[in-house]
Amino acid sequence: MKILGIETSCDETAAAVVEDGVRILSNQIASQVEIHARYGGIVPEVASRQHILAIIPTIEQAMAKAETTWSDLAGIAVTNGPGLVGSLLVGVNAAKAISLAHRLPITGVNHLEGHIYASWLGNHSIHFPLVCLIVSGGHSDLVLMRGHGDYVVLGRTRDDASGEAFDKAARILGLGYPGGPAIEQAARNGTASIQLPRAWLKGTSDFSFSGVKTALLRLVEAGKIALSANQSDELPTRADAAASFQEAVIDVLVTKAVAAAKERRVKQILLVGGVASNELLRKRLAENSSIPVLVPEPVLCTDNAAMIAACGYYHFQAGRVDGLDLDVVASLRLA
Ligand code: KG4
Ligand code: ZN
């Protein structure tokens, strides 16, 4: 059963063909990163316009690469939220047009649910119940999954998402956009010598990352981090600050995910979303958890359409088909 996945919720125009929810036949991504980097972050209007330019060629490439014809497809899965409305609309309308022209069923996929289903790609053995730590630019959620499509949100961020915190910290340190990979790269040349605060929010599975970001900002404002060559050799460097920030965020994510998984006595932990491509986070979670951890390969952690197609397969199996009235929902929730 081949599904065409379409993803345009943020700044990547993506299309993929996935067979039986596990085998990737193609996975095309047209990234807008270079365009948004000029502005230091995503400009929604620019993102929508870029999606319009890229959507048809990206879908055509995905179909060609998968050597798939329209009649080979069983359906189309498209992200309909959460995300930027203008961006989501481009993918959803493309899916509707194809659905109408080729008489294919469509199913709307929650972007976060898509991130979770990246774990199924490659045919890994996955056992319920499990806990998912979803860490992306817009979300930091701990979710209990009891079966396909069965979610209980255990906790979420009360302010910044972890990816957003990485992006803001990178801006504070003058490391550019996107911040996650920039911080990870810079941290390789530093040591986590600065003790930054961690918000534990004890007794909950919620997160808060605005405090650690503000603490970093205060240190920079007070001239306590050497951001230019003529500052004192005694001060911690930009690389040390990046390493300390990364350490603080990962410490909280790992500790809280492991605690939630133990408390719920689950069989597995899934680590998903753009921040899950961070090598240190992957390593730390695996080292600190007695419960098996599964993390998709980095390219399947950041936004892609293969994960949307994988999720769509399970929607179709469960009879979850949408009509041409499928709408986009900017703040669509899981569960
Ligand atoms: O899942 P994603 O591609 O898009 C959203 O759904 O938001 O996640 C993007 C986020 C960005 O905030 C980016 O800085 C972060 O993931 N990210 C990383 C890394 N790669 C991407 N954060 C930390 N380390 C990384 N290597
Ligand atoms: Zn995402």
SS3 for 76-113, per residue? EEEEEECCCHHHHHHHHHHHHHHHHHHCCCEEEEEHHH
Contact predicate 47/32, CB 8 Å:
yes
pLDDT band at 335 (very low <50, low <70, confident <90, very high): confident
Local structure of residue 226 (DSSP, 8 states)? B
User: In terms of DSSP bridges, do strands 130-135 and 106-110 run parallel, antiparallel, or are they unpaired?
Assistant: unpaired
Query: What pLDDT was estimated at residue 25?
Result: 98
More confident: 64 or 178: 64
Phi and psi at 75, nearest 5°, equal 175, 175
HSE-CB at 156 with a 13 A cutoff on CA atoms is 10
- DSSP-based three-state secondary structure for 129: coil
Residue 180 Cβ contacting ligand 1 at under 6 Å:
yes
Would you say residue 48 has pLDDT above 80?
yes
Contact predicate 217/225, CB 8 Å:
no
Query: What pLDDT was estimated at residue 62?
Result: 98
Express each pLDDT in 19-42 by its tens digit. Answer: 999 999 999 999 999 999 899 889
For the chain, give every domain's residue range: 2-120+300-317, 130-295
Q: Which fold has domain 2-120+300-317?
A: Nucleotidyltransferase; domain 5 (3.30.420)
Q: How far apart are the first and last CA of the chain?
A: 26
Report the residue among 132, 275, 308, 334 best suited for mutation to probe ligand 1: largest number of ligand atoms under 8 A from its CB: 275
Strand ranges (E), 23-165: 23-31, 73-81, 106-110, 130-135, 140-147, 150-156
Type of residue numbered 123: N
Q: Give the helix/strand (H/E) hosting 3.
A: strand 2-7
Beta bridge partners of 144: 131, 152
**According to CATH, what is the number of the domain 130-295?**
3.30.420.40
Express each pLDDT in 103-152 by its tens digit. Answer: 999 999 999 999 999 999 998 899 999 999 999 999 999 999 999 999 99
Are domains 2-120+300-317 and 130-295 of this chain identical in fold?
Answer: yes
Residue 179 Cβ contacting ligand 1 at under 6 Å:
yes
Beta bridge partners of 60: none
Query: What pLDDT was estimated at residue 14?
Result: 98
- Please say whether the dihedral angle defined by the alpha carbons of residues 325, 7, 135 and 130, taken in this order, is positive or negative: positive
Express each pLDDT in 153-198 by its tens digit. Answer: 999 999 999 999 999 999 999 998 899 999 999 999 999 999 999 9
Residue 178 Cβ contacting ligand 1 at under 6 Å:
yes
What is the atom index within ligand 1 of the atom nearest the CA of 163?
A: 12
Express each pLDDT in 186-238 by its tens digit. Answer: 999 999 999 999 999 999 999 999 999 999 999 999 999 998 877 777 899 99
Angle at Cα 10 formed by Cα 34 and Cα 14, nearest 5°? 80
Angstrom distance (rounded) from CA 87 to CA 199: 33
CA of 193 to the centre of ligand 2 (A): 31
CA of 304 to the centre of ligand 2 (A): 8
